[in-house]
Amino acid sequence: MKRKVLVLSMALLLMVSLLTGCADTKGTQTPPASKGNTTGTSSDKFKSRTIKFLSVWPEDDKNSNGWIISELSKQYGETVDGFDLEYEYVAIDQLDQKVKILMSSDDLPEICTYESGVRLKQVIQADMIIDVEKTFTELGIRDCLDEGAVSLLKNLVDGLGLYCVPLGMNMEGFWYHKGLFEQAGIEKVPETWDELLEACEKLKAAGITPIVQGGSDNWPMTRVLNAYLVRSVGLNAVQDAVTGKRSFTDPEYVAAAKMFQDMAKKGYFAEGMNTIDPGTATSMLMNGQAAMNYDGSWKASNLNSEDNAAGPEGIGFFNVPVVNDSSTLLDYSMNCGNILMFSKKKYDDKVADWMKFVFPKLGDFAMQETGSFKGFAISKMPEDTTYYTQLVAEHLAKAQNAFLWFEAKMDSETSTIAQNSISLLYTGEITPEDYMRMLEETAAKSR
């Protein structure tokens, strides 16, 4: 009989634990303090508030955006009681999936890294994030944002408004190792694509790897394809193909994929490039293991660091060489980097307070510490700006028109295919026609 009781109570125990389990989690998932509108009353009693930050940058990677946010939060933490930043890392190629899952469980963190463009647009339409323009105006910190960045960001979501803050005011192009160029006898930086190919040939002849891209993340490879595409078709090349005005299978588009593959076949790219991550690619450039690396101006912060074996002026920069008159050297690939968005559900006074502290300081802090532009107003340029920071500033000043990265206007599926398949284009597993046909077929689905 005793045994019976035992078994019975076990079964009961389980049921109870299941039920209380439900109740428990319901309780913990809605912390009373996080429900916004009861401004400044007794609900502030909740002392400790953890703000969660989903980031694609390793926290301890000095000079990264993640590090900047985390440092400023630390400073903020010293001014208030019971503040804690919970830093969560997600790999960049998992970001989209992760955010999708968080969105569908209505659990976006207070601060969330994401990508502007079509993807951000979806979050805005789902009404899950705060209107940054409105919020910042209310908080009186609207003027900490750089106007150029703001208009770029608004443009990216087709004028829906400003729903994110920038973490960069970047332009992209080729960074090159001056020493290696000299060694290979290249006297001036390439301005046309033919000159670029010539330079690659010379470098190869001198036993130097011409170009390295962080191919394991895929986007650094689609960037090169996009560079040629834009220069040969025009600034709106991708946009036009996505909307159906043109087709990815048009000969000019296929030609861009072919150019990319030809460069791979000729050995202009580093060996095993699709297994190299962007960080390694950067160090390969700095260590002189490769002569060129197409990347954004965010690289300035790495170049400014002491790890740069090429020295304080050893790396140069040139804009994407031109192909024909579709696009000129005054057109730059520009973006605001990965952006930050803020959960509407979890937005409250504490988050507002944190924002008021962090964002007005961000521009200057980033400039001082890393020498890079983040799309925030800078009150004073540090007097001892480095060569790299100046280089970026000069080019930014020259820019007249901006074009976007390859996937900016693509939906998730098309962009996944664009990214995953570029690796096959690199290895020669698929033809340029295959690649573009896949994009066309997928993009056509959502037209």
| Positions in 35-74 near another protein (CB under 8 A) | 58, 60-61
- DSSP assignment of 124-145: HHTT-B--HHHHHHHHT-GGGB
Minimum distance from residue 275 beta carbon to another protein (Å): 4
Q: Which residues contact 287 (CB under 8 A, 6 or more apart)?
A: 309, 310
Is residue 198 near another protein by the rule CB under 8 A?
no
Rounded Cα distance between 349 and 4, Å, is 55
* 207 in contact with another protein (CB under 8 A): no
- Asked if 379 interacts with another protein (CB under 8 A), we say no
Q: State yes or no: residue 440 binds another protein (CB under 8 A).
A: no
Q: Is residue 359 a contact partner of residue 143, using CB atoms and an 8 Å limit?
A: no
Q: Which stretch binds another protein (CB under 8 A): 36-44, 190-198, 272-280, 352-360?
A: 272-280
Q: Which is nearer to another protein, 26 or 447 (CB)?
A: 26
Min dist. Cβ of residue 71 to another protein (A): 16
397 touching another protein, by CB under 8 A: no
> For another protein, which is the closer residue by CB, 100 or 395?
100
Q: Is 276 in the site for another protein (CB under 8 A)?
A: yes
Assign 105 to helix, strand or coil.
coil
Using CB under 8 A as the binding rule, the residues of this chain from 84 to 123 that contact another protein are: 86, 88-91, 93-94, 96-98, 100-102, 104-105, 107
Q: Is 182 in the site for another protein (CB under 8 A)?
A: no
The region of 152-160, 360-368, 382-390, 408-416 touching another protein under the rule CB under 8 A is: 408-416
Told to check if 34 binds another protein by CB under 8 A, we report: no
1 binds another protein (CB under 8 A): yes
Q: Token digits for 104?
A: 């569908």
Structure tokens at 123: 């979050």
State the DSSP H helix or E strand holding residue 19, giving kind and residue range, or none if neither: helix 2-29
Residue whose CB is less far from another protein, 48 or 275: 275
Q: Is the dihedral of CA 52, 55, 59, 63 positive or negative?
A: negative
In whole angstroms, how far apart are CA 385 and each of 312, 368, 396, 408? 11, 9, 15, 32
Residue list 214-233, contact with another protein (CB under 8 A): 215
Question: Residue 271, interface with another protein (CB under 8 A)?
Answer: yes
Compute the distance between CA of residue 223 and CA of residue 293 in angstroms, rounded to an integer: 11
Torsion angle of the four alpha carbons 99, 103, 109, 115, in this order, in degrees rounded to the nearest 10: 40
CA atoms within 13 A on the CB side of 404: 20
Closest contact distance (angstroms) between CB of 60 and another protein is 7
By the rule CB under 8 A, 80 interacts with another protein: no
DSSP labels, 342-381: EBSTT--HHHHHHHHHHHHHHHHHHHHHH----SB--SS-
- Chain positions 3 to 22 lying near another protein, rule: CB under 8 A, are 3-4, 6-8, 10-11, 14, 18, 21-22
> In angstroms, what is the minimal distance from the CB of 290 to another protein?
11
C-alpha distances in Å from residue 347, one per residue of 51, 54, 122, 341, 355: 10, 15, 19, 11, 11
- Considering only residues 280-319, where is the footprint of another protein by CB under 8 A? 280, 283-284
C-beta of 24 vs 182, nearer to another protein: 24
How far apart CA 359 and CA 376 sit, in angstroms, is 8
DSSP label of 210: -
| Residue 416 binding another protein, by CB under 8 A | yes
Q: Rounded to whole angstroms, how far apart are CA atoms 97 and 101? A: 6
Q: CB nearer to another protein: give 120 or 323.
A: 120
25 binds another protein (CB under 8 A): yes
- Tell the smallest beta-carbon distance from residue 170 to another protein (Å): 22
Q: Which is nearer to another protein, 78 or 271 (CB)?
A: 271
Min. distance of Cβ 352 from another protein in angstroms?
A: 23
Distance CA 118, CA 335 (A): 14
Q: Are the C-beta atoms of residues 177 and 313 closer than 8 Å to each other?
A: no
* Number of residues near another protein (by CB under 8 A): 61
Binding site for another protein (CB under 8 A): 1, 3-4, 6-8, 10-11, 14, 18, 21-22, 24-26, 29, 58, 60-61, 86, 88-91, 93-94, 96-98, 100-102, 104-105, 107, 215, 270-277, 279-280, 283-284, 412-413, 416-417, 420-421, 423-424, 427, 429-430, 438, 441
